[in-house]
Amino acid sequence: MNTAALLGPYQPESAFAWIGGSPITCHRFLSEVATLADQLPENATVINLVEDRFRFFVGFAAALVRGQTTLLPPGRAPKVLAQITNDHANSYCLIDGQGKVEGLPSFHILSTYRNSKEHQFVVPQIPTKQIAVVAFTSGSTGTPRPNPKTWGSLVAVAQHTGARLGLSPTDNVTVVATVPHQHMFGLEASLLLPTQFGLPFHTGRPLYPEDIRSALGSAPPRRILVTTPLHIKACVTEKTQFPKIDFILSATAPLPIALAQQAETLFDTKVFEVYGFVEAGSVATRRTVAGDSWQLLDGISFAKHSDHYSLRADYLREPVPFPDHISLQGPRTFFLQSRHADLVNIAGHRGSLGDLNRKLNEIEGVQDGVFLFPGQDERSITRLTAFVVAPGKSADQILSDLRTVINPVFLPRPLYLVPILPRNETGKLTRESLLELARQLQCEDHRGL
């Protein structure tokens, strides 16, 4: 049976994680994993809702040791959790607070800490074909879909990503992350990336610029910031002075080159992006300011079909269709054009919602904005809707600016000015949340008549 180690090359007293300015040793981590693994329920699957990043990883590792699969819901909305519960009835919920999933038994991870004892320093070996997680698509374009991931695939992605970024076990660099660990990018980049290279991670999840500055300051030099364009934009807007970091790694949404340039100046560092999707995990990287082209990670290759591309890798059970329209620049280099589900056709004109969103957010004074395609209505002309956060600007001003950069058929009718967009924990906007926002605003318009 082929196996892969749970962790990279740590020594027993190596700093495994940092809580504030205090280290947790690798020996303590493995002792807590061994203690918890002996106490977990017998269920086949677990929904790990533990808020603390270190304790989450203790629970994740203990489930691996027990041969259990961790389910990673795309969010915590009751409707989403209820659907996953129905599909995975033999599950339990691992928690460290009050949160739990209705209809599932709960196991409180903190009860383990009262009985935790030191174990021998032994790094578990996990079968590479063991299903470690089931990750679900975000629901941006419909119902979340399950995607099983083997332990071997998670290890391969972490090792290939780290090698591309130039990580080494001798670096002694700490990963500080703003992204949630229950998200696929968060699991890969904030936990598996450092731990497969024997590096420590910061246990917090800072959200605001001052929180990020404080978290970076509490970690020892050297540091990596794993984050999203939303957090980068907030830091650039605040212009807070940040501690020195080795580089920024961003994902979950396209990062505009201008914003990457501002971030490199503000942080005095380099900004890299990782591109991925739930079905395959992280698959490519780029240094944003160097241009629009992406480079596939080692171990991954393209396969061309009549109307699309797919990705192949030894750790993928079968070729995975690429979700975006791309143009190849070489066997391993490509440009992203648009998502297959991102294209709209209005009055015979085809356009990309991603391109429209980019142009909307480039308008001066727009802090955040998004287009919504409500759907085709055969009885009337279909119109796009837009939601915009732009304090001090009127809808007419924004429409006037849009007319200079987009085809008039794509002008949003209506355009709603809102105080905030309903982004989830990773900064994404689901179609369902935007449709609900549109319904709420339409009701308010009707009440005002």
The CATH architecture that domain 347-447 belongs to is 2-Layer Sandwich (3.30)
What CATH fold (topology level) applies to the domain 3-338? Rossmann fold (3.40.50)
Rounded CA-CA distance 297/284 in Å is 5
Q: What's the pLDDT score for residue 216?
A: 95
Q: What's the pLDDT score for residue 375?
A: 65
From-to residues of CATH 3.30.300.30 in the chain? 347-447
Query: In terms of pTM, does the model score above 0.85?
Result: no
Non-local (6+) Cβ contacts of 280 within 8 A are: 300, 311, 313, 316, 320
Q: What's the pLDDT score for residue 346?
A: 75
129 contacts 161 by C-beta, under 8 angstroms: no
Q: What's the pLDDT score for residue 449?
A: 46
Q: What's the pLDDT score for residue 446?
A: 54
108 contacts 96 by C-beta, under 8 angstroms: yes
Rounded CA-CA distance 296/279 in Å is 15
Distances (CA, A) of 256 to 243, 269, 284, 387, 447: 23, 16, 17, 19, 39
Rounded CA-CA distance 446/440 in Å is 10
Q: What's the pLDDT score for residue 377?
A: 45
12 contacts 29 by C-beta, under 8 angstroms: no
Non-local (6+) Cβ contacts of 68 within 8 A are: 40, 43, 44, 45, 46
Q: What's the pLDDT score for residue 143?
A: 64
Beta strands in 114-253 (DSSP E): 125-127, 131-136, 146-150, 174-177, 201-202, 223-227, 247-250
DSSP 350-373: EEEHHHHHHHHHTSTT-SEEEEE-
- Residues of the chain below pLDDT 70: 111-117, 138-143, 338-341, 347-349, 375-382, 445-449
Surface-to-core class of residue 257, CB atoms within 10 Å of its CB (0-12 exposed, 13-18 middle, 19+ buried)? middle
From-to residues of CATH 3.40.50.12780 in the chain? 3-338
Non-local (6+) Cβ contacts of 318 within 8 A are: none
414 contacts 388 by C-beta, under 8 angstroms: no
Nearest to 344 by CA among 361, 329, 357, 330: 357
Residue 39 is encoded by which pair of tokens?
């106490």
